[in-house]
A and B are shown apart, each in its own frame.
Chain A
Amino acid sequence: MTAVIETVGVGKRYGRLWALTDCTLSIPAGHVVGLVGPNAAGKTTLLNLATGMLAPTAGTIEVLGGRPAAGPAQLARVGYLAQRAPVYAGLSVADHLSLGAHLNPGWDADLARSRIERLDLSLGQKAGTLSGGQCAQLALTLAVAKRPELLILDEPVASLDPLARREFLQDLMEAVAEQGLSVVLSSHLISDLERVCDYLIVLVASRVRVAGPVEELLATHHLLSGPRRDPGTLPAGQQVISASHTDRQTTLLVRTSDEVLDPAWTAAEVTLEDLVLAYMNEAAGRGRHNHRLEAQS
C-alpha cells in the first residue's frame, strides 16, 4: 500500500524550541489514523506540516507522494478541518457550499447538498449562529465534498458535547466507507478515537513514541504481573514500556513480538488507553522505576 504521509526525520523549530523532533513515519493509505498525545506535544505542528501551512525546519515530508500545498492539484487531494472548525460567521450555509463549488474543481455538489439535508441544516442560516456540532459538520461537509484522497482533522471533537461527538464520528465513518478516504485525526483523548482508529501514532513532547496498526500494537503489548522482580532481568526482545512495583509484586507493560513464556508472569489484555498512557508516562519520566532495555532495532 502506498503511504499517504511519509516523513523522514522531520522537525520544526520555533525560535529555540523544537515543536517536533526527528519524526519518521510512513502512514499507509486506507486507514483511519489516530494521532494521540497530550496538549503541546506537537500534533497540530505535524498536521500543519502535512497540509503545507508550515515548512519543516529539518527533514522532509511528503503527502500522497507530493509536496504539501504544492499547487491546486495537490491541494485538491487533501481535505483539512482545523481546530474548532472555523467557518465564515457572516456567510450562510449555502454561501459556504458556493465557496466550495467555486474554489474546488472536484466539488461534488450533490454529495454536499444531500449531507446538508441529512444534517437538517437550514441553507439560509448564517454560520455564526450554528452550534459547535453544526459548525463541525458544515466544515466536514466542505472538506469531504471536494472528494479528497486524504482527510486531516485537528482535534475535531474536542469541543463537542457527547451527542455531537458521536454524530460527527458517525458521519465521518460513513464518508470513509463511501469514498474510501484515508483519515488522520488528532486528539488528546484516546477515548474519542478508540472506536474509529485502526492505526495509532503516539506523540509526546515533540517525538513519536510508537506508531503502528492498532491490531498489531494490541497483540504485541502485554500487561504482565508477577512476583517482584527487576525489569532488567527480562530477556532481550521484551521492551519494558512502564513498570510499577509494590514490595511483593511487579507490574510491567511490555512490548514484544515473541510469546511471553515465563510462567511466573500473568499476562492480561492491554487496552488502547493503557497503552497510550504507558507511553505518555514513559516519556514524562514518571513511574517509580523506569528501566528500558535496548529494543531490538
Chain B
Amino acid sequence: MIWLTWRQSRIKAASAAVVLAAFAVLLAVTGPLLASMYAVSTLGTCQGDINACGAYADDFLQQLDASHGGGLILGAGTYWLLYLLGFVSILVAPVVIGIFWGAPLIAGEFEAGTHYLAWNQSITRTRWLAVKLTLTGLAALAVTEALSLMEAWWATPISLAVARGACCSPLAMNQFSPLLFATRGITPLGYAAFAFALGVTAGVLVRRAVPAMALTLAIFAVFQVAMPLGVRPHLFPPDHTIAAFSSFDSLDVPIENNTFTAIPNGWGDQPEAWVLSTGAVNTSGTPVSAVPADCLQAIQAASGKASHPALLDCLTSHGFEIAVTYQPASRYWAFQWTETAIYIALALALAGYCFWRIRRRLS
C-alpha cells in the first residue's frame, strides 16, 4: 500500500519538490546577501543593547525597503518583495496542499470508480485509508514546515533588527502580528494538517474532486480569518497594566469636539508583547477622553495634526496614562502550541470521520 500511495502521488511529490527547490534556491542565493547587508550596516556594526543601537535598527530596515541596495546586485525594494513572497508562500501552502493533495485523494477514486479496484484487493478499507492519509499528510506537514523554517533562516537579519529595537518600519513586525504568527514556529504544521484533512473529508462527502476543492478553499478561508480575529486573542486571559505616555515610541491624540483618543505606537517597555487594546486613563485609573480645560489652549496652538506635543505634556501633567490590555511576550509559545493543538485536533477529528464514513460501506 505504501508503494501504491507513492506511485499514485509521484507527480504531486515531484511538483512539491520543484517548488521547494525553487524556494530554497531563491533563499539560498539572497539570504547571504541579506546577511552581509546586515553585517556592514550601522546596526550590524553596533555593539550594544537597544538603547545604544536601537536607532540604527529602523535604519537597517529602511534600507531593505528603499531603492538602494547597499551596493548589491538587487535593488528597488527587492528584499521587501522577497519577504512578502515568503509570507505568501507559507500562508498559501496549506490550502494549496488541501486542494490539490487532499480533495482528490479519495474523491478521485470515487470519480474514476477505482475504489472498486482498490477495495477488492486483499487489504481492508481502513488500512488503505490509513496509509494514504498518513503518508500524504506527513508529506504535507513536512513541505509546509520546510518552507517556514527556510523563511525563518533567511529573515534572521530582519528578526534581529526587530529584536534590537526596530519599531516603525512596516517590516518591523511583532511576533504576534498575524502574518508572522501564522508563518513561523509550529502553526504552519497545524494549518497544513487541517487543510489536508479538510480536503480529504470534502472529497469523501462530495465524491467529486472539483467541488471538493472549492468547498475546502471556502471553509479553510473562513477558519483562517476567524482564528486571528475572533479566537486567538481569547485563548488566554490578557494582562492589564498602566503605562506612562513616555513608554511608547509615539503617541497620536486626534481631537474631536474637545475629546481626544490616545493611539500609541510601539510599546518600548515590552516591544515583543501583543497589545490588544489601549486607552487613556486618569490618575484613579478610570478611562478619560475629555480634554481638561487648561489644556484646551494647547490644542489651538497645533495646526490640525494628530500629534500634539504640547497637548501631551499638558495631559501628562494631569497624571493621565495609558491602560494597556496585552498578552506578554513570554506567552508566545503557549499561543503557538495551543493554536496548533486546536488545528491538529480538528484535523484528527476530520480524519476520524473519514474512517467512519469509509468503513460504513459506501458503494
- Chain A residues closer than 8 Å to B112, beta-carbon distance: 86, 88-89
* A54: Cβ under 8 A from any B Cβ: yes
* A71: Cβ under 8 A from any B Cβ: yes
- Chain A residues closer than 8 Å to B7, beta-carbon distance: 91, 95, 98-99
* A288: Cβ under 8 A from any B Cβ: no
Q: List 21 A-B contacts (CB under 8 A).
A: A48-B363, A53-B361, A55-B361, A73-B122, A75-B121, A75-B123, A75-B124, A76-B122, A86-B112, A86-B116, A87-B114, A87-B117, A88-B112, A88-B117, A91-B7, A95-B7, A102-B1, A103-B4, A105-B122, A142-B117, A146-B122
Contact of A106 among B1, B122, B125, B360 (CB under 8 A): B122
Q: Given A48-B363, A52-B361, A88-B8: A103 and B123 within 8 A (CB)?
A: yes
CA distance A86 to B120 in the complex (A): 12
Size band of the interface chain A makes with B: 35 or more
* A29: Cβ under 8 A from any B Cβ: no
- Chain B residues closer than 8 Å to A71, beta-carbon distance: 124
Residues of B within 8 A of A (CB): 1, 3-4, 7-8, 112-114, 116-117, 119-125, 360-363
Specify the main secondary structure of chain B where it touches its partner.
loop
- Chain B residues closer than 8 Å to A84, beta-carbon distance: 113
- Chain A residues closer than 8 Å to B114, beta-carbon distance: 86-88
**Top 3 closest A-B pairs, CB basis?**
A86-B113, A82-B116, A103-B121
- Chain B residues closer than 8 Å to A133, beta-carbon distance: none
* A51: Cβ under 8 A from any B Cβ: yes
**Contacts A89-B112, A95-B7, A103-B122 given; 6 further ones with Cβ under 8 A?**
A75-B121, A75-B122, A82-B116, A104-B121, A106-B122, A146-B122
* A201: Cβ under 8 A from any B Cβ: no
Whether A75 lies near B361 (C-beta < 8 A) is: no
- Chain B residues closer than 8 Å to A53, beta-carbon distance: 116, 119, 361-363
CA distance A143 to B8 in the complex (A): 20
Interchain pairs with CB closer than 8 A, number: 75
CA distance A288 to B7 in the complex (A): 60
Q: Which residue of A lies closest to B4 (CB)?
A: A99
Whether A54 lies near B361 (C-beta < 8 A) is: yes
Proximity bits, A78-103, B CB within 8 Å = 1, else 0? 11101110111111000100111011
- Chain A residues closer than 8 Å to B3, beta-carbon distance: 98, 102
Shortest CB distance A261–B (Å):
50
Whether B124 lies near A102 (C-beta < 8 A) is: no
Shortest CB distance B15–A (Å):
14
Contact of B120 among A80, A89, A102, A106 (CB under 8 A): A80
- Chain A residues closer than 8 Å to B122, beta-carbon distance: 72-73, 75-76, 103-106, 146
CA distance A95 to B10 in the complex (A): 13
CA distance A95 to B122 in the complex (A): 17
- Chain A residues closer than 8 Å to B125, beta-carbon distance: 69
Shortest CB distance B77–A (Å):
43
Shortest CB distance A69–B (Å):
7
CA distance A55 to B117 in the complex (A): 18
Q: Which residue of A lies closest to B121 (CB)?
A: A103
- Chain A residues closer than 8 Å to B121, beta-carbon distance: 75, 99-100, 103-104, 146
- Chain B residues closer than 8 Å to A99, beta-carbon distance: 4, 7, 121
Shortest CB distance A145–B (Å):
11
* A139: Cβ under 8 A from any B Cβ: yes
> Which of B1, B123, B363 is most buried by chain A, counting CB atoms within 10 A of its CB?
B363
- Chain A residues closer than 8 Å to B360, beta-carbon distance: 55
> Which of A53, A71, A84, A146 is most buried by chain B, counting CB atoms within 10 A of its CB?
A53
- Chain B residues closer than 8 Å to A106, beta-carbon distance: 122
Shortest CB distance A135–B (Å):
11
Q: Which residue of B lies closest to A68 (CB)?
A: B361
CA distance A105 to B121 in the complex (A): 10
Shortest CB distance B105–A (Å):
14
Shortest CB distance B333–A (Å):
43
Which residues from 40 to 68 on chain A have a C-beta closer than 8 Å to any C-beta of chain B?
Answer: 48, 51-55
Shortest CB distance A125–B (Å):
16
> Which of B112, B113, B117 is most buried by chain A, counting CB atoms within 10 A of its CB?
B117
Shortest CB distance B317–A (Å):
77
Q: Given A72-B122, A72-B124, A86-B112: A102 and B117 within 8 A (CB)?
A: no
